[in-house]
């Protein structure tokens, strides 16, 4: 089994698709991996896709020209669903689409179902973080939020907060993917940043304590249902929500 | 129990100092928590260029409290002091509880700071009746005006209308808020007389009517809601749902909330209950959904009984009473036929209709789409064939409405 790695950028993703769709590289015995999550060296047999901006650009135009608009717009979303490994199903669909233009809507194909489910899950995940992202105010009134979403939602998430807080200074950090969003004076930037860390505690922002107190009081004791709460807020993301912080 | 007169003489500790903000927030959120409404959907405001905040059409949940309810808004009372004596309410005048008040500016500041940190979608402001209804409403409006005109806050605001407040103030409240509400509390005048002697149905209904009249030029339901307490009186489910149905029909409210009666006071007029009727509340919500989204009529839901069955949901109950309606052929059935099938809700019905345009439906395709056939299988056919072969004993169980066949209680 040969593992093909790409660098986890959108350009890398398009270069990879180009290799398998237009250059018809075989998928037999191939596993595809995003190098943002696993280092190539951890595999015995691997090959790295060399990201090529020119190829990526051309392939992007090829898709724009040849795919129905609705499907074309989903390609970026499929890229952002980075943890569910959509590369192979997508390659299979793109290879078939010339012969069967409606294939992407035909739910009798497992690939179509997988893509469809992932897209839905992506928007669900984004919507979740509309609510769950927590800003902590740093001393200079900068609002800082750190999170680790299931998918790479930040490129489709920041807009919500910029629209909502156009006059604030914002830092949002996806610490799993090391993707950083900065916003100040109506200028914005989205960058990959390997070593970025801001330590926060209860003392950083006094409103955290007020919020925690509100959070504990608003529950009706007679209705207590930790199970329902756990279903809605999995334990894995609670470290990002100050209302769940365990204070020693 | 103390009478109001005795209370007049007793010194009430009223938390008002800035440094008490922790206690006050705590008192006022505890007092507000029995209001079930916390939705932030339906807002359409865009961010002001100098301010902050907008609303998201479908609403956003920011957290879930330990009672499993979504937290979307900062839900507080302006004050829990109240001149009324509703027997079911923790804030009634004769109760000896700590009282607190937040100033309009404090309410506005709290909202802004919670909102900036993305704890909330906005504010749900309610209040006990302080001095008189107009005075209370004016203070509440002051807070909202600071938010809207000083901070240019365009996030979601739900404002409770104080019964008895003047029409002008109700109109002003409606123009500033995204949603307003007035709780009808109990479904009949007699019940109100018994448990909320200071209130009348007319007085509680009036603010909603004013809002409807302002909204008259539009055909949509007014962005208002109400809440009805369930189980504090002997009123039947049919009485409650009939009231809700009328409110929906006349487009008075978008949403009726049902709140299981939770005893917080002792009073001979209140029922002695071991456990709040949460399951009954759940069934009422299900019936409410059947009216609003499934095309059921009131008479269909209450054909046999004035109260909903507790063991099974009202849709399954209807299906078992109407086996002649089934099986439904899912390759041809329209939306309203599909949603009558137990186990198939609006989302699944839409998926089925969309999918059958492009491919042949089979139980495997349905499973792949995430449509559970656990319950539906008894009620559908796919191209004329039943999904499961029903044994004679199962057929008999169906006829006899044997509930063991349907272990779960999803609608
Ligand atoms: S008017 Fe409202 S706050 Fe006052 S006692 Fe009645 S229910 Fe409670």
Give nearest CA residue, ligand 1 atom 6: B86
Average pLDDT score over chain A: 92
Number of domains present in the structure of chain A: 2
**pLDDT of A157 higher than 80:** yes
Per DSSP, the three-state class of A177 is coil
Q: Which of residues 21-60 of A touch B (CB under 8 A)?
A: none
Shortest distance between the Cα of A100 and any Cα of chain B, in A, equals 12
- Residue B296 confidence (pLDDT): 95
Ligand 1 pocket mutation, candidates B28, B31, B92, criterion most atoms within 8 A of CB: B92
Cα A103 to Cα B350: distance, rounded to the nearest angstrom: 20
- Residue B405 confidence (pLDDT): 62
Does residue A29 have a cis peptide bond before it, meaning omega lies within 30 degrees of 0? Answer: no
The residue of chain B nearest to residue A210, with distances taken between CA atoms, is B22
Whether residue A47 lies inside any domain: the answer is: yes
Cα B211 to Cα B180: distance, rounded to the nearest angstrom: 8
Whether residue A119 lies inside any domain: the answer is: no
- Residue B3 confidence (pLDDT): 34
Shared-domain flag, residues B10 and B111: yes
Query: Which residues of chain B register pLDDT less than 50?
Result: 1-11, 408-411
Residue A55's domain spans which residues? 2-107
Shared-domain flag, residues B12 and B159: yes
Q: Which of residues 66-125 of B touch A (CB under 8 A)?
A: 66-72, 74-75, 110, 113-114, 116-119, 121
Is residue B55 within 8 Å of residue B68, measured between CB atoms?
no
Give the mean model confidence (pLDDT) for residues A23-33. Answer: 88
Shared-domain flag, residues A138 and A209: yes
Where residue A45 falls among pLDDT bands split at 50, 70, 90?
confident
Whether residue B397 lies inside any domain: the answer is: yes
- Residue B219 confidence (pLDDT): 65
Shared-domain flag, residues A138 and A86: no
Whether residue A30 lies inside any domain: the answer is: yes
Number of domains present in the structure of chain B: 3
Whether residue A80 lies inside any domain: the answer is: yes
Q: Of B273, B304, B335, which one is at a domain's C-terminal end?
A: B304
CA B390 to chain centre: 39
Shared-domain flag, residues B283 and B335: no
The reply to whether residue B114 touches residue A220, judged by beta carbons under 8 angstroms, is: no
Nearest to A165 among B52, B121, B365 (CB): B52
Whether residue B309 lies inside any domain: the answer is: no
Whether residue A128 lies inside any domain: the answer is: no
pLDDT tens-digit profile of B148-201?
Answer: 999 999 999 999 999 999 999 999 999 999 999 999 999 999 999 999 999 999
- Residue B404 confidence (pLDDT): 59
- Residue A201 confidence (pLDDT): 77
Give the mean model confidence (pLDDT) for residues A46-72. Answer: 94
Residue B379's domain spans which residues? 314-408
> B196 or A26, which is more confident?
B196
pLDDT tens-digit profile of A202-245?
Answer: 777 889 999 999 999 999 999 999 999 999 999 999 999 999 99
Nearest to B262 among A168, A222, A225 (CB): A222
Whether residue A23 lies inside any domain: the answer is: yes
Whether residue B144 lies inside any domain: the answer is: yes
Shared-domain flag, residues A102 and A198: no
The reply to whether residue A166 touches residue B74, judged by beta carbons under 8 angstroms, is: no
CB contact B367 to A (< 8 Å): no
Ligand 1 midpoint to CA B81 (Å): 9
Shared-domain flag, residues A96 and A196: no
- Residue B5 confidence (pLDDT): 33
Cα–Cα nearest to A10, from A176, A177, A159: A177
Per DSSP, the three-state class of A87 is helix
Shared-domain flag, residues A149 and A195: yes
Could you tell me the pTM of the whole model? 0.89
Instruction: For residue B280, give every residue at least 6 positions away whose Cβ sits within 8 Å of its Cβ, in sequence order, or none.
Output: B230, B231, B237, B260, B308, B310
**pLDDT of A40 higher than 90:** no
Whether residue A174 lies inside any domain: the answer is: yes
Which of A131, A146, A165, A228 has the highest number of chain B CBs within 10 A, making it the mutation to test binding with B? A131
Give nearest CA residue, ligand 1 atom 5: B92
Where residue A248 falls among pLDDT bands split at 50, 70, 90?
low
CB contact A134 to B (< 8 Å): yes
């Amino acid at each position: 089994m040969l593992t093909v790695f790409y660098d986890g950028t959108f350009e890398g993703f398009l270069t990879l698709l180009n290799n398998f769709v237009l250059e018809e590289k075989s998928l037999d015995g191939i596993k595809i991996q995003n190098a943002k999550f696993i280092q190539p060296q951890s595999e015995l047999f691997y090959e790295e896709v060399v990201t090529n901006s020119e190829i990526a650009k051309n392939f992007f135009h090829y898709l724009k020209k040849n795919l129905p608009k609705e499907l074309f717009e989903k390609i970026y979303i499929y890229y952002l669903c980075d943890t569910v490994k959509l590369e192979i199903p997508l390659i299979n669909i793109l290879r078939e689409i010339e012969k069967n233009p409606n294939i992407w809507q035909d739910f009798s194909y497992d690939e179509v179902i997988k893509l469809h489910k992932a897209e839905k899950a992506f928007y669900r995940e984004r919507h979740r973080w509309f609510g769950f992202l927590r800003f902590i105010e740093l001393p200079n009134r900068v609002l800082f939020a750190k999170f680790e979403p299931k998918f790479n939602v930040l490129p489709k998430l920041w807009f919500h907060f910029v629209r909502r807080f156009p006059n604030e200074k914002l830092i949002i950090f996806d610490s799993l993917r090391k993707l950083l969003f900065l916003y100040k004076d109506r200028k914005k930037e989205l960058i990959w940043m390997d070593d970025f860390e801001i330590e926060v505690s209860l003392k950083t922002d006094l409103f955290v304590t007020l919020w925690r107190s509100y959070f504990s009081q608003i529950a009706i004791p007679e209705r207590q249902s930790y199970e329902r709460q756990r279903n809605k807020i999995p334990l894995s993301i609670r470290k990002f929500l100050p209302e769940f912080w365990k204070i020693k | 129990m103390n009478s109001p007169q005795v209370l007049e003489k007793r010194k009430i500790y009223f938390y008002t100092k800035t440094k008490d903000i922790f206690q006050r927030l705590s008192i006022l959120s505890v007092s507000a928590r029995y209001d079930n409404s916390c939705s932030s959907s339906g807002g359409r405001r865009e961010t002001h260029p100098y301010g902050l905040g907008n609303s998201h059409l479908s609403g956003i949940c920011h957290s879930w409290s330990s009672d499993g309810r979504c937290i979307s808004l900062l839900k507080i009372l302006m004050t829990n002091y109240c001149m009324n004596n509703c027997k079911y309410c923790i804030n009634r005048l004769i109760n000896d509880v700590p009282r607190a008040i937040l100033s309009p500016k404090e309410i506005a500041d709290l909202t802004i700071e919670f909102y900036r940190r993305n704890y909330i979608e906005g504010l749900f402001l309610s209040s006990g009746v302080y001095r008189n209804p107009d005075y209370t409403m004016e203070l509440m409006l002051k807070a909202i005006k600071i938010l809207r005109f000083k901070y240019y806050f365009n996030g979601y605001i739900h404002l409770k209308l104080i019964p008895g407040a003047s029409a002008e103030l109700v109109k002003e409240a409606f123009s500033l808020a995204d949603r307003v509400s007035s709780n009808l509390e109990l479904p009949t005048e007699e019940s109100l007389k018994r448990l909320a002697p200071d209130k009348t149905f007319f007085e509680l209904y009036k603010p909603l009517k004013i809002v409807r009249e302002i909204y008259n030029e539009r055909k949509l339901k007014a962005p208002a809601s109400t809440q009805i307490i369930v189980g504090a009186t002997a009123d039947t489910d049919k009485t409650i749902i009939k009231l809700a149905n009328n409110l929906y029909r006349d487009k008075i409210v978008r949403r009726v909330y049902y709140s299981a009666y939770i005893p917080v006071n002792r009073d001979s007029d209140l029922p002695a209950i071991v456990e709040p009727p949460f399951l009954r509340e759940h069934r009422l919500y299900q019936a409410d959904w059947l009216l609003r989204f499934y095309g059921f009529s009131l008479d269909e839901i209450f054909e046999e009984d004035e109260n909903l069955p507790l063991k099974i949901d009202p849709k399954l109950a209807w299906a078992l009473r109407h086996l002649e309606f089934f099986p439904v052929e899912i390759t041809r059935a329209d939306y309203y036929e599909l949603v009558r099938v137990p186990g198939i809700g609006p989302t699944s019905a839409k998926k089925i209709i969309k999918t059958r345009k492009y491919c042949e439906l089979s139980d495997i395709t349905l499973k792949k789409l995430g449509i559970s056939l656990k319950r539906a299988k008894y009620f559908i056919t796919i191209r004329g064939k039943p999904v499961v072969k029903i044994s004679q004993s199962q057929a008999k169980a169906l006829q006899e409405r044997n509930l063991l066949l349907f272990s779960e209680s999803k609608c």
